[in-house]
Structure 1
Amino acid sequence: MRDLLATRARASPDATALVDDASGREWTYADLNATVETTAGRLAALGVTRGDHVGVLMETRPAFVRLVFALQRLGATLVPLNARLAPQELHTQRERANLALLVCDADTEADALAAADAVPVATVDDPDDPNVLALDERDLDDVEPAEWAHEDTLALLYTSGTTGDPKPVTLTLGNVVAAAGASAFTLGVLPDDRWLLCLSMYHMGGLSIPLRCALYGTTCVLQRGFDAEATVRALDEHDCTGVSVVPTMLDRLLRADADLPDSLRFVLTGGAPTPRDLVAACEDAGIPIHPSYGMTEATSQIATARPAEAFANPETVGRPLFGTTVTVVDDEGDPVPPGETGELCVSGPTVTPGYYDAPDANAAAFGPHGLHTGDVGYRDTDGRLCVLNRRSDRIITGGENVDPGRVAEVIRSHPAVRDVAVVGVDDPDWGERVAALVVPEEGHEIDRSTLEAHWEDRLAGFAQPRTVAVVDSLPRTASGTVDRDAARERVVATADL
């Protein structure tokens, strides 16, 4: 097939493809296809050709969307880079991905230059540095649209790096198409759907939205960065039917305005576990929350719970999506029965063929049951999936294994607790001790005796936290997951219970 946008533009030329919330400008699929053709011609004039790896360093904006589809038109591979990284981190990722070109904007030009070395840098804005090429000033080369097979690499996306150095994940056209189909079978698709994009496009959760909209023929409404009040307005003003957020973003939306517009069909939460009280708040407000579990290596969603399922079982992320198999295995790699905790392995057409240029990592990551996710969880007797924590987060205290997700689940069930992170900290006698960083509900105070009474009959003695710190919020990474190193430092520095 041709690239996704060209295929869609032939089928639905007059449908609205993209809306820029900042400017109010709209593009039909025919309009967007024409601008992408121009961008592709300018990239070709810079020497970009089939198979090249091209880095994009910028926050979410229409130019990013155009680059995504222009690189597809040329048969090149998109490599989104996190615009929040330090230059040295960008340098390492640029080098590892073997970039032929790095495209930036005015906000990221200095970082792009610092990371580029001999790799040419182009900007979608007016350059400040004479060594940076102005993409819009290039003459157009003729473009012969590339043909795509399902096994061709569409993008290299870096993992979040929560368990080590970020690795570039190979994602194919087939991965993207399968993920879009599986998601549609769960969320549904209607001709007038409008999906708000307020996530960063250098993460899979953000990048997936314009890709899926092109496949569905629906509208992507683009917001240039998340702001709770502005996002509530955008959802209402553009009659959005869907939005993807991490749980902390949804919590801020509800605090800004619990009455989100009635046009919403789905609010997809992921990137971190969705707290039980947030699910309950959505039920009270009539918000169609869809808690999900996913990862870059599976092209975003692995499992998703629909609202009724989430409201009845607030700890679950639902069942695996169509075509996806999740197997829970023990430390020896053998499947365990329902209710028993183990590592989650995932297989199916959405799963990456492997990390780029990393044979050792691939040999360790894949096994008889598919990709070892490094996540710990269990399936209940009805097949619903519950995700607890990373396998590497496991705490070993006095020779006993403690899954911090189980401990956090118990603490979070206390009505005065809004959120919690459970980590292991060094202990001279036991190797590690269990520590908890607790965020209280507004207007509530927490004391140790109350917490101890709550977990006394719910947790084994060795799993009960020995150190507790009360904080206003949990430290998080850019993708919304708890920053465990920062949490560990904070709980040691501020423990007061």
Structure 2
Amino acid sequence: MEARALTSDTFWEVDVPVMMGADHPAPEGIPPLIYFQTSGSTGVPKWIGLSREALQVSARTVNEHLGVTRESCWVLTLPLHHVGGFGVASRTWQAGCRMVSFEGKWDPFRFVQWIVGQGGTHLSLVPTQVHDLAAAGLRAPASLEAVVVGGGILMEDTGRAARELGWPVLASYGMTEAGTQIATQRLELLDQPYVKEPIDLLACWEARDGKTGRIEIRGDALFSGILKHGGDQWKYEARSGDWFATSDSGLVEGRKLRITGRTDALVKILGELVDPVAVEAALISQAAGLVAPGQAVVVAIEDTRAGNKLVLAHEKSVKRELLELALEAYHASCPGYCRIKDLVAVEGIPKSPLGKPLRKELSRIIAQGSI
């Protein structure tokens, strides 16, 4: 589906189901929602269904939070079948403003040259893209007012380097089930050095600390249900209850969030619960911004003695000496059960279309020795 179609009145007023990015028509009899494909913690594909009303609540709230007006211009850099890219189109329609799309393979130099002539004011990027822009020393176009960074954690060294180059980066937290953003830092913070947390809860959301350690959310932009395919049949399951337990652990401090990790990523090592993603963030921070997100990934591999062990997989383009120095600094203060046991070079880290590392696939590759 083209971006132009998503910014038309017809798309938002018609009451039919739409499966974004699907190569087949929507099955008969399912609710008239907008469905986005994602993979659960088990890796089984599922489709998250959101109503048009929920998506517009999200769009309107994000626009208000970021100061978007009819004179603004959203820049599309993410695929439309992903809720992050779709969100740019829905915000454009809601605000009645302009939208421009960056086509082709990501290239930071070409991107900056292109956007200078477009007059873009707002865009969403993933941490890898911000790293590329900062590492290349590329200054931001003067027209930019806000860059929402999602799809992972933007390290503080990279965020501060980007802000020094004029990129108005704001950390965000969101998910498909919420129609994109749940929390996004305020524009007022752009006058200060970048920090990755806390992140401000958007006006349409409530959040609380769940009994199971997961952050729970409630709001009018929440998904309606889940569509799954098993065998030859499709099955739709409506969401139950007002509150939704995310897969993320963290702290809710009034209207601010601090995300500490993913509960579905925790593993037991020597009897202790360990989050490989949190270990990775602590380790990469020791590399002083010289390693791009997704170039070095910490995964857990089964171990006979310890239950699991942590392995650092890195692309061969990353200098091993740099990672060894970062490991030395990290190991100087981490507890024993959080130590990295192996350093493995791979041709490439398997990633999603948005550049997120596919950790389960990477663990399987390393465990099988097929690197």
TM range (shorter): 0.7 to 0.9
Q: What's the CA shift string for 1:283-336, capped at 9, x where partnerless?
A: 2212100121111110100111136648656232612111212223343xxxxx
Instruction: Tell me the CA shift for residue 430 of structure 1.
Output: 1.8
Corresponding residue for residue 86 of structure 2: 207
Moved more, 170-179 or 220-229: 220-229
1:79 aligns with 2:19: yes
Corresponding residue for residue 413 of structure 1: 285
Instruction: Tell me the CA shift for residue 72 of structure 1.
Output: 3.7
- Measure, in 1, the Cα distance between the counterparts of 2:27 and 2:85: 23
Give the TM-score of the pair, scaled to structure 1.
0.64
RMSD: 3.5
C-alpha change, 1:199 and 1:266, in structure 2 (3 Å) is same
Structure 2 spans left out of the alignment, 5+ residues: none
- Measure, in 2, the Cα distance between the counterparts of 1:386 and 1:487: 27
C-alpha change, 1:490 and 1:303, in structure 2 (3 Å) is same
Q: Quick one: which amino acid aligns to residue 206 of structure 2? A: T
Structure with greater contact order relative to length (CA < 8 Å, sep ≥ 6) = 2
Corresponding residue for residue 97 of structure 2: 218
Q: Quick one: which amino acid aligns to residue 266 of structure 2? A: R
Corresponding residue for residue 171 of structure 1: 50
Pick one of 241, 244, 268 that aligns with 1:371.
244
Pick one of 432, 453, 456 that aligns with 2:308.
432
- Measure, in 1, the Cα distance between the counterparts of 2:39 and 2:134: 26
C-alpha change, 1:350 and 1:276, in structure 2 (3 Å) is same
- Measure, in 1, the Cα distance between the counterparts of 2:301 and 2:56: 43
- Determine helix, strand or coil for the equivalent of 2:286: coil
Q: How does 1:174-193 map to 2 (within 5 A)?
A: 174-193=53-72
1:404 aligns with 2:279: no
C-alpha change, 1:182 and 1:273, in structure 2 (3 Å) is same
Q: How does 1:62-211 map to 2 (within 5 A)?
A: 62=4, 64-65=5-6, 69-81=9-21, 94=24, 97-98=26-27, 153-161=32-40, 163-211=42-90
Q: What's the CA shift string for 1:252-285, capped at 9, x where partnerless?
A: 3445561121100011111222233321221221
- Measure, in 2, the Cα distance between the counterparts of 1:366 and 1:408: 34
Q: How does 1:234-313 map to 2 (within 5 A)?
A: 234-255=114-135, 258-306=138-186, 309=189, 312=193
Q: How does 1:338-349 map to 2 (within 5 A)?
A: 342-349=213-220
Structure 1 spans left out of the alignment, 5+ residues: 1-55, 83-89, 101-151, 332-341
Task: Tell me if structure 2 keeps the 8 A contact 1:425–1:488.
Answer: yes
Q: Quick one: which amino acid aligns to residue 175 of structure 1? A: A
- Determine helix, strand or coil for the equivalent of 2:328: helix
Q: What's the CA shift string for 1:390-439, capped at 9, x where partnerless?
A: 32211112322112233123212214462442221011112211222357
Instruction: Tell me the CA shift for residue 163 of structure 1.
Output: 4.0
- Determine helix, strand or coil for the equivalent of 1:446: helix
- Measure, in 1, the Cα distance between the counterparts of 2:298 and 2:76: 31
Task: Tell me if structure 2 keeps the 8 A contact 1:470–1:495.
Answer: no
- Measure, in 1, the Cα distance between the counterparts of 2:187 and 2:223: 28
Give the structure with higher Rg (CA): 1
1:476 aligns with 2:348: no
C-alpha change, 1:300 and 1:192, in structure 2 (3 Å) is same
Identity %: 24
More strand by share: 2
Q: Quick one: which amino acid aligns to residue 346 of structure 1? A: I
Task: Tell me if structure 2 keeps the 8 A contact 1:437–1:469.
Answer: yes
- Measure, in 2, the Cα distance between the counterparts of 1:197 and 1:440: 31
- Measure, in 1, the Cα distance between the counterparts of 2:340 and 2:195: 24
Q: How does 1:387-398 map to 2 (within 5 A)?
A: 387-398=259-270
Equivalenced residue count is 360
Q: Quick one: which amino acid aligns to residue 97 of structure 2? A: T
Pick one of 342, 349, 363 that aligns with 1:467.
342
- Determine helix, strand or coil for the equivalent of 2:61: helix
